[in-house]
A and B are shown apart, each in its own frame.
Chain A
Amino acid sequence: MNEKKKNGVVQAIGKLWTHHSYIFIFLAILIVYALVIQSNGNTFKMSHISAILASQTTVIVGTMALGMALVIITGGIDLSVGSGLVLVTGVTIMAYNATSSIIVMLLAALIVGALCGLINGLMVGCAKMPAFVATLGTQLIYRSVTLTYVRMVDPALSGSSSSQFSMISSNKYYNALRMGFGTGKLNLGFIELPYITILFFVLLALFIIISTRTKYGKSIYAVGSNVRSARLAGINVTFVYVSVYVIVGFLVGIASFLQACKLGNITPASSGMNYELYAIASVVLGGVNMAGGRGNILGVLFGALSYTTINFIIVSIPSLSTDMQDACQGLVLIVVILIQTLSPIIKAHFNTAKKRKANEALAK
């Protein structure tokens, strides 16, 4: 009986490993993080996990990565999310400074974000431009336009005279937005969860439902898996392509709102740099296939957590200079993906060898 139970558990873990290997990858990375902290002479506590959950790369990048995953599942890519974040956050902060209204601020973020996405979507879906090129173009445009604008705009609107957008602290609701929501935490007793992380989890749940329980979600996978079959099954392929970019834009809008509330300002020259790459890395670490058609939105959560934890590990190793951080990140990323791509090949090789041996033994 006990034996049977054990087998069941082993099987369940095996299934988890094949379909949700990103969980194990995250756990492995987390263990390394714990070991690094212990070796620094500190104890690994819940507050460390809380810090991972609250990090910029988990929440802001993770939010954008949810949409990025959908785009990648259709076989596309969106390189404009980092500079889109800068542009939309700029607009969001100005909307707040001008009106002091939370509703206007939120609407500005969502509408401008969705518009930025719509431009990408129309180029990719209707004009059939390669996603890589189209979104590379808008990446350059969005940041450069924001940079130019921030130098010209009236400081009363941008909230700062030093080439950045900053929420004016004397405005109404400032404390509610910044201290209450942006950096506030919900104490659950064993762990403190930032409100914005909770919002991210809500979005995550929403996107898991969209991707697995709606007809629209299935059409995204179908288009990414075989666009011809999808079209001949009556799916409006152009709509799917355009819509996923609009969704990313919409999520960039939400991320911009979170960014504004969390940090209160944004610097077009340096903020959100390479965020599109971090988002792609999170999606890939989450097990989504870059060729399209395959992947799991839950994986994006673990991908984002893994990526954040990798960053934390690097920062916690005192002997690593900050210049080496990117190299470490790149290396870890490659190793993780290497494990994912190599393991089926190695497995197939061993299986054939095994069969060969068995057949040879039979022949004798």
Chain B
Amino acid sequence: MKILEMEHISKSFGGAKALDDVHLSVEEGEIHALLGENGAGKSTLMNILTGVLEADAGLITFDGKSYPEPTIAQMEAAGIAFVHQELNVINDLTVYDNIFLCREIKGKFGLLNKKEMIEQTRALFERLGVDINPMLMVSELKTSQKQLLEICRALYADAKLLILDEPTTALGNDEIDHLFEILRNLKKEGKSFIFISHKMPEIFAISDSYTVFRNGTFISSGKIADTTPFKITCDMVGEQYVDEDVYEERELGDVVVKLEHFCGQGFTDINMELRKGEIVAFTGLAGCGASELMQTMFGASVCEGGSVEVEGEKVQGDITDFMKKKVAMLPANRKENSVIPDMNILENTYIAEHSISRKKPFISIKNETVKYGKLKEMLNIKEESEKDAITSLSGGNQQKVFLARWLNTEADILLFDNPTQGVDVGAKAEIYRLILGFAKAGKTVVINTLEIPEIKKVADRCIVFYEGHIAGSFTHEEIDERTIMAHSTNAVETREAV
């Protein structure tokens, strides 16, 4: 029996169509994978389903009832729960408070009956096989536990359909297994799931059926058993994506950056040399210290020991001191760390250059526009006008604006922390091609990324981090998914020890 049926859903923001006549139907008691690149329209559809956004057109039928204009409260009452990627649990309350938020059990005089709530929470956790103390503050929980807490919360509210938005990104392998076990048990109880993920092995391990979107349109759907990861990938990326190998070997220059016994928050005793024109990839699991190292190499985090030399001179101090030595860093998490939402594209491009050219306090919008025009052409930024809001651009174009921001400082050492995060496949390939171009022009590029195939495409060298130290260093030829995974999970040492 179908529990959810969404038909002919359309939605546009401003002029851009986010969803164009798409369908989605979910059977009762199945895990349905919703697939597509970033910007394919998955989140928009889920926001429409949960009443956060209003669709421009379309029909929603859930559990036999139709919802012409769903509101958040209606859909919640109907039994749809959205477990967001950025968790929506409240850190400053206890675990049981979170479970019972807005549906507290009251005792005499309308006061809270804590004992009963704790008891029920315990029973719920036991039934689901979740091992969390109900009395703990949520801030003390691990990310994986918060994830489970949010799922439990939805189940307590008697949700029939749970939307899980990339639930495994912050989880380790054991935690993922545990989550999947819980999901399988719930499935047997007749709960249905919409599972949003980018990781093919997981999708094939847990899902029953799938739906693929691309650029806001419906592409395909069917049973997972009847398809292959390759077919689904093709559906997701379409024809446009040519998996060409852009890498080419280059002559490297002299050493320009030298780290000696470099220590900081999250990493210790790093020794490393980077050459002019070299592309070096940092990789490792979340929390391996690579991102922190990059921030410290830019003066954004405190150096706790050792030294960093740029062009033979030791650099110390804050971000502007590093910028003056021609170091630039494109930080991870674009929205939090790069976007200045109230400023237009031109202002966003120039904000970094301004902080090293303070000696000339006035701005010449004319000169800036001309120079921006050149950057725009070089990076192929697609916009109507440089006076448009930065937020009107897609993720990939925004990222290009931030590349422009740093190229504009005329930096020679470019540190890119997860530069293709939240960028669609087409723009990704473009960004990597640009990175190769920078290196050819004599710039030194460091990329921190978790995507090993991408490393293979551009890096001359790959440095793998594990718990704050270097676990291995590989030349371009040696880069291979399995070796790198083995080093980043420290599987190598365990194997050697045996």
Binding site for B on A (CB under 8 A): 213-216, 218-219, 221-222, 224-226, 228-236, 293-294, 352, 355-356, 359-360, 362-363
Chain A CB within 8 A of B81 CB: no
The 3 closest A-B pairs by CB, nearest first: A359-B57, A234-B355, A293-B342
Interchain CA distance A215-B318 in the complex, whole Å: 19
Residues on the A chain within 8 Å of B347, using CB:
218, 221-222
Closest partner residue, chain B, to A359 (CB atom)? B57
Interchain CA distance A310-B464 in the complex, whole Å: 66
Closest partner residue, chain A, to B347 (CB atom)? A218
Chain A CB within 8 A of B357 CB: yes
Contact among A225, A232, A234, A355 with B356 in the assembled complex (CB-CB below 8 Å)? A234
Chain A CB within 8 A of B341 CB: yes
Residues on the B chain within 8 Å of A234, using CB:
319-320, 323, 352, 355-356
Residues on the A chain within 8 Å of B351, using CB:
218-219, 222, 230, 233, 235
Query: In residues 316-365 of chain B, which contact A (Cβ within 8 Å)?
Result: 318-320, 323, 329, 331, 336-343, 347, 350-352, 354-358, 360-363
Residues on the B chain within 8 Å of A294, using CB:
342
Residues A221 and B343 in contact in the complex (CB < 8 Å), given A229-B338, A232-B338, A355-B56: yes
Interchain CA distance A225-B389 in the complex, whole Å: 13
Residues A214 and B57 in contact in the complex (CB < 8 Å), given A226-B341, A294-B342: no
- Does A215 contact B319, Cβ atoms closer than 8 Å? no
- Does B362 contact A219, Cβ atoms closer than 8 Å? no
Closest partner residue, chain B, to A289 (CB atom)? B342
Residues A232 and B12 in contact in the complex (CB < 8 Å), given A221-B342, A222-B343, A352-B56: no
Min CB distance A349 to B, Å, is 9
Residues on the B chain within 8 Å of A230, using CB:
340, 351
Give me 11 other A-B pairs in contact (C-beta within 8 A), A225-B342, A226-B340, A236-B320 excluded: A213-B362, A215-B354, A215-B363, A218-B343, A218-B354, A222-B340, A226-B339, A229-B338, A232-B329, A233-B405, A355-B57
Contact among B8, B57, B337, B357 with A232 in the assembled complex (CB-CB below 8 Å)? B337
A-B pair count, CB < 8 Å, reads: 94
Interface size grouping (class) on chain B: 35 or more
Chain A CB within 8 A of B430 CB: no
Which of A214, A224, A229, A235 has the most chain B CB within a 10 Å cutoff?
Answer: A229
Min CB distance A192 to B, Å, is 35
Residues on the B chain within 8 Å of A355, using CB:
12, 56-57
Closest partner residue, chain A, to B358 (CB atom)? A215
Chain A CB within 8 A of B158 CB: no
- Does B341 contact A232, Cβ atoms closer than 8 Å? no
Subset of 29 A-B contacts with CB under 8 Å: A213-B363, A215-B354, A215-B358, A218-B351, A218-B354, A221-B343, A221-B347, A222-B347, A222-B351, A225-B341, A225-B343, A226-B340, A229-B336, A231-B300, A231-B319, A232-B300, A233-B340, A233-B355, A234-B320, A234-B323, A234-B355, A234-B356, A235-B351, A236-B318, A352-B54, A355-B56, A359-B57, A360-B57, A363-B8
Residues on the B chain within 8 Å of A359, using CB:
10, 56-57
Interchain CA distance A216-B329 in the complex, whole Å: 22
Interchain CA distance A83-B6 in the complex, whole Å: 61
- Does A215 contact B352, Cβ atoms closer than 8 Å? no
Closest partner residue, chain B, to A235 (CB atom)? B355
Interchain CA distance A232-B360 in the complex, whole Å: 21
Min CB distance B188 to A, Å, is 39
Min CB distance A353 to B, Å, is 9
Interface string of B3-45 (1 = CB under 8 A from A): 0000010101000000000000000000000000000000000
Query: In residues 38-92 of chain B, which contact A (Cβ within 8 Å)?
Result: 54-57
Interchain CA distance A52-B483 in the complex, whole Å: 77
Interchain CA distance A248-B9 in the complex, whole Å: 52
- Does A215 contact B361, Cβ atoms closer than 8 Å? yes
- Does A215 contact B341, Cβ atoms closer than 8 Å? no
Query: In residues 246-305 of chain B, which contact A (Cβ within 8 Å)?
Result: 300
Closest partner residue, chain B, to A356 (CB atom)? B56
Min CB distance B215 to A, Å, is 19
Residues A232 and B319 in contact in the complex (CB < 8 Å), given A214-B363, A225-B341, A352-B56: yes
- Does A219 contact B355, Cβ atoms closer than 8 Å? yes
- Does A224 contact B339, Cβ atoms closer than 8 Å? no
Min CB distance B137 to A, Å, is 24
Interchain CA distance A360-B8 in the complex, whole Å: 11
- Does A363 contact B57, Cβ atoms closer than 8 Å? yes
Interchain CA distance A228-B363 in the complex, whole Å: 23
Residues on the A chain within 8 Å of B340, using CB:
221-222, 225-226, 229-230, 233, 293
Residues on the A chain within 8 Å of B361, using CB:
214-216
Closest partner residue, chain A, to B320 (CB atom)? A234
